[in-house]
Chain A
Amino acid sequence: MAISGRNAIHSLLFLILSLLSVSVIFYLLDAPFIAALEVIIYAGAIMVLFIFVTMMLNIGMEGRTEKKWLRPRMWIIPSLLAAVLLADFILAITYIPGSPPVDQAILPKQVGISLFSTYLLAVEIAAILLMAGVIGAYHLGSQKKKITHRFLIKN
């Protein structure tokens, strides 16, 4: 529904729904911290921005291009890819013996400790990436347009 919907906002709502269900799956897998972050960050912050932008652009009422793109011919390759993924998934859960799921819940503290010891490098790289975003935003924001009102221009 998120992909095939004609209305942009409705598609986004279905995407939010699927994010919430992913979070519930994380919770059932004994990872409450990740589940909460999924809701706060993805569903709560990023998707709000998506909806914000869609609202500002004011699209989604008619969606004629979507109709053109969603001809039956366009479904062949994506459904093939999805079928491959599905086969992979079925193979994985039936044949490959995975490690047994952990019995006790992984608490926020353990997540924090492993982030700042085992995966420190990844955290720092992500931090630098975010820093680049902040600096870029600052650069874009600092260039002020000089506006003079037409009544104030001296002849």
Chain B
Amino acid sequence: MKYLLIIAGVLLIALSVAAGLIWVERRLLSLWQDRLGPNRVGPFGLAQVIADTVKLFFKEDWIPPFSDRPVFLMAPGILMITILLTFAVIPFGPDFYVFDSNIGILFFLGNSSLGVYSIVLGGWASNNKYSLIGAMRASAQMLTYEVFMGLSLMGVVMMADSFSFCSIVEAQRNGWFIIPQFFGFVVFFIAGVAETHRLPFDIPEAEGELVAGYHSEYSGMKFGMFFVGEYLGITLISAIIATLFFGGWLGPSFLPPVFWFLLKTFFFIGVFILLRASLPRPRYDQLMKFGWKVLFPLALLNLLVTGAVLIFLK
């Protein structure tokens, strides 16, 4: 019974945070751009999300006749499933997790690499030039950034001596991993932004060039799933950064651990939104060059140095 409650709680937190983020992002962006943003519906415009969702439900859900129907229908579901599955291994608090897997980090990496399919297939099945270009950019970008996303986490794994998220949090009792693993954190953060294809790395859906990229043909709630999936991805990456580098639910005891975890997660969500407000989009070849020539060697060096120091200290 408790188990079911935890699953329901995790799902509720993840989905409501992701939906609420739509409002948070619009308000924060307008704050930084010196305007008001949505403030008409409900207190502070909070009901805007509900209004948008209702609108999405009532829209015509058009499936283009020239599309590959089964694949077209499947693609948004893959995105939601892979991201929501990953929330299962994240510890929200000392006893507040669905499943403490001994391959937790690998589970996350596997799911994020399967998440690429949703975008690639969505773009391909739309049978549309812009979607196809978006899907090709997305697959190249995500394949590249996955490589050192995994490598940058291996330093943390070596220090904690485990792939399990819970033991990694426990291993940070004497100090957060952000200090010894600073370069790992930098690489992981940039790879995380690219993996969720957020601005500034949103070239798969660059509005200025590709209409809406891979989800140009999607409408109604299927588009809504891509949309919420993006915010779920932000929440997920922020939660993982908070867990792996900033001590997860550890914190001074005047607040409950779950609260510390959520606080750290929200801080990184804020950073994600600030990035969107402040940085221009790089060109496609600049992105690949930056990935392979700067971040990849950095991740490898970080791995090498961490290993050497750990063996030296033994």
Contacts and interface: CB of A to CB of B under 8 A. Distances in A.
Interface of A: 7, 9-10, 13, 16, 32-33, 35-37, 39-40, 43-45, 48-49, 51-52, 55-56, 105, 107-108
B163 interface: yes
5 contacts: A37-B106, A45-B143, A51-B117, A51-B121, A51-B124
Interface string B118-132: 001100100000001
B135 A55 contact: yes
Contacts of A44: 109-110, 113-114, 116, 146
B136 A52 contact: yes
Given A32-B101, A40-B150, 4 more contacts: A36-B106, A36-B110, A44-B109, A44-B110
A55 B110 contact: no
Interface of B: 68, 70-71, 101-103, 106-107, 109-110, 113-114, 116-117, 120-121, 124, 132, 135-136, 139-140, 142-143, 146, 150, 163
- Most chain A CB neighbours (cut-off 10 Å) among B68, B103, B146: B103
Q: Interface of chain A, helix or strand or loop or mixed?
A: helix
B106 A48 contact: no
A58 B120 CA distance: 13
Given A32-B103, A49-B143, A51-B139, A10 B113 contact: no
A43 B112 CA distance: 11
Given A32-B103, A45-B143, A48-B120, A40 B135 contact: no
Contacts of A56: 136
A10 B136 CA distance: 17
A27 to B, nearest CB: 9
The 6 residue pairs across chains A and B that have the minimum distance between CB atoms: A44-B113, A36-B106, A39-B110, A32-B103, A40-B110, A36-B103
